[in-house]
Amino acid sequence: MAHLSMAGATLLFGLNYWVAKGMMPDHLMPLQIVFLRVFGALVLIWMLEWITGKSKGQRIEKKDHYRLAFAALTGITLNQALFFTGLSITTPIDTAIINSTNPMIVLLLSVIFLHQPAKKLKILGVLLGFSGTLILILAGGESYPLHMGGIKGNILIVLNTLCWSIYLIIIKPLTGKYHPYVLMRWIFLYGFILLIPIAATSVTSIHFDSFTLTTWGSLIYIIVGTTFLAYLFITFGLSRLTPSVVAFYTYLQPVIVAVVGILIFSEGISMYKIVATLLIFTGIYLVNKNTSNT
């Protein structure tokens, strides 16, 4: 069941790149999707916590609220805004490949700020991964030659991945201290509050009466599928599988995105994407191989 839940989460995340891309900008703008997604997830999390009652009575220490607020800023507000804005002007395949560099960024931040020791293989892996990412960024204009949107979009996705990596480091000390439902509730609440100043006004221009069944289905998929169910699946998988196995499923996301793009959307796979992907995945392998030996 644990492997099945991780496979389900990976599939949900992999398809999300194309579902979200298809909604922008004809149906919804990036910040509109982010606002609806975070609000919808917040409501679902509160409902889940109320129904299960598993985290009833658990309170957050005052000093931890500051950490949660910063985690929400990086992991929800900035992370989501950068992801959807970047995805709207670049390709889903580029986005998925860049997102896969997350473990290397976490490693680099851990070395810099947490003084985690790094061996030569780790450093080499990080350098290879960033080389692949740089190729994607510089060649990103190939898909959008008139406006260079691909380059800008890929840069935003790099920043999105950086924010998510910072979030993982910030939230790590709290994961063994509080119930996951409690953490999710406060993170999404703070994230939603911080999102209001930059996205609330855009929601007023949404014309819900013009939504088709496909539009509603895509929006529900983004909120329920990739924000609610996928996180539950991952939580279940983490409780029964090793981090290395969970990471393996994460690295399958670009593969799913590429397969869907080729078979359904006739997306082309250029040589620069192949080279960049090989560099990034070689880097990931070296980082994980060395991590398992330390």
pLDDT tens profile 86-131: 999 988 888 888 888 887 787 788 778 777 777 788 788 888 888 8
Other C-beta atoms closer than 10 Å to the C-beta of 31 total: 19
Q: Is 198 inside a domain boundary?
A: yes
Residue 16 is predicted with a pLDDT of 93
Residue 122 is predicted with a pLDDT of 79
Residue 144 is predicted with a pLDDT of 45
Q: Is 3 inside a domain boundary?
A: no
For residue 206, name the pLDDT band (cuts at 50, 70, 90): very high
Within 114-240, residue ranges assigned H as helices are: 120-139, 149-175, 180-203, 213-220, 230-238
Domain encompassing residue 87: 29-213+268-292
Is pLDDT above 60 for 197?
A: yes
Could you give the number of structural domains in the chain? 1
Nearest CA to 73 out of 218, 170, 217, 213 is that of: 170
Place of tokens 């393996």: 248
Q: Is 57 inside a domain boundary?
A: yes
| Residues 58 and 179 sit within 8 Å (Cβ to Cβ) | yes
Q: Distance between CA atoms of 48 and 234, rounded to whole angstroms?
A: 16
Residue 230 is predicted with a pLDDT of 84
Q: Is 194 inside a domain boundary?
A: yes
Residue 1 is predicted with a pLDDT of 79
Q: Is 98 inside a domain boundary?
A: yes
From its phi and psi, is residue 266 left (phi > 0), alpha (psi between -120 and 50) or beta?
Answer: left
Q: Is 2 inside a domain boundary?
A: no
